[in-house]
């Protein structure tokens, strides 16, 4: 739990599947066999979104659900694998990894016992169970957030979580985009690696933003940085969400991503708002 900072009367809540990105730094021994020399662990998934937002706006206006991570979920990255392939451990492959867990958005709001000038909700969904329950558990979410941005890789998020948000935004990447699922949102940011970012409304492209051809070292977690940067900008720099302010948010997010993809491991932007 984080206490609110008096300078900004705002609050952003991050919910999702906590993951740890585990990098195996490798070497070749005298027998030409690949050995693990060092293990580097970085926050991934919803944790990476959280850390990026914390870096951009500070921790005072943040709340993370779940407050206690039920168990560790790992993504293993081995440089020796062709194309730096990412795979999950056997335990991590379970699509219902967090099925017994829950989030409590209403308690997060009630904890502060005050009214905010602006609130945002970020749902970082990796189809591991935290945001996927299909029962009536989420029907009690009544708080009206100013905006919600959803990063749902498998389009598996329970839409009841953001039904009361004033503005609903989806960050879709590459082939994840689905015109039917997009109908649940007012706006969509469609990203695809180094390709231009496309802002969509009613399944139509209304703006395109070019992405610099930055030398890439590692793209793991860049999508999380994009989502976090959009959310932070909308919370701190925008009074009315429209095409122009969303393009401004996207440009900020693009700039943040250019920084993290230069790093060898999942990284956190140093940008500030």
DSSP labels for the chain?
--PPPSSS-EEEEEEE-EEEEEEEEEEE-TTS-EEEEEEEEEEEEHHHHHHHHHHHH-STTEEEESSS--S--EEEE-TTSGGG-EEE-TGGG-TTTTTT----HHHHHHHH-S--SEEEEEEEE-SSSTT---SGGGGG-----SEEEEEETTS-S-GGGSTT-SSEEEEEEGGG--HHHHTT-SEEEEEETTEEEEEEETTEEEEEE----PPPS--TTHHHHHHHHHHHHHHHS-SS-SHHHHHHHHHHHHHHHHHHTTSSSS-------
pLDDT at 5: 41
pLDDT at 202: 97
pLDDT at 217: 93
Is the pLDDT higher at 148 or at 156? 148
CA 258: distance to chain centroid? Answer: 16
pLDDT at 86: 42
Spatial contact of 22 and 48, defined as CB atoms under 8 Å apart: no
| pLDDT score of 95 more than 60 | no
Spatial contact of 15 and 123, defined as CB atoms under 8 Å apart: yes
Provide the percentage of residues in the chain whose pLDDT is more than 70: 83
Strongest mean pLDDT among 38-42, 73-77, 250-254: 250-254
pLDDT at 104: 78
pLDDT tier, 70 (very low <50, low <70, confident <90, very high otherwise): low
Give per-residue pLDDT as tens, 188-222. Answer: 999 999 999 999 999 999 999 999 999 999 999 99
| pLDDT score of 77 more than 80 | no
Rounded CA-CA distance 231/235 in Å is 6
Spatial contact of 64 and 1, defined as CB atoms under 8 Å apart: no
pLDDT at 27: 83
């Amino acid at each position: 739990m984080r206490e609110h900072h008096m300078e900004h009367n705002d609050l952003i809540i991050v919910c999702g599947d906590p993951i740890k990105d585990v990098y195996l730094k490798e070497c070749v021994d005298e027998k030409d066999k690949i050995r693990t020399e060092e293990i580097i662990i970085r926050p991934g998934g919803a944790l990476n979104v959280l850390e990026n937002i914390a870096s951009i706006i500070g921790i005072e206006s943040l709340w993370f659900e779940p407050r206690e991570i039920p168990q560790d979920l790992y993504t293993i990255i081995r440089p020796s694998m062709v194309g730096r392939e990412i795979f999950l451990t056997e335990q991590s492959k379970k699509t219902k990894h967090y099925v017994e867990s829950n989030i409590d958005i209403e308690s997060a709001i009630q904890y502060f016992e005050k009214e905010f000038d602006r609130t945002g909700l970020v749902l970082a969904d990796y189809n591991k169970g935290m945001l996927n329950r299909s029962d009536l558990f989420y029907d009690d979410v009544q708080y009206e957030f100013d905006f919600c941005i959803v990063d749902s890789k498998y389009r598996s998020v329970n839409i009841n979580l953001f039904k009361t948000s004033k503005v609903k935004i989806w960050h879709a990447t590459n082939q994840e985009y689905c015109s039917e699922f997009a109908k649940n949102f007012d706006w969509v940011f469609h990203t695809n690696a180094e390709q231009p970012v496309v802002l969509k409304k009613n399944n139509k492209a209304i703006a395109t933003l070019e992405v610099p051809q930055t030398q890439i070292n590692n793209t793991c977690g860049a999508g999380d940085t994009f989502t976090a940067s959009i959310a932070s900008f909308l919370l701190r720099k925008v009074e009315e969400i429209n095409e122009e302010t969303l393009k401004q948010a996207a440009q900020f997010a693009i700039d943040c991503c250019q920084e993290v993809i230069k790093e060898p491991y999942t990284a956190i932007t140093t940008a500030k708002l």
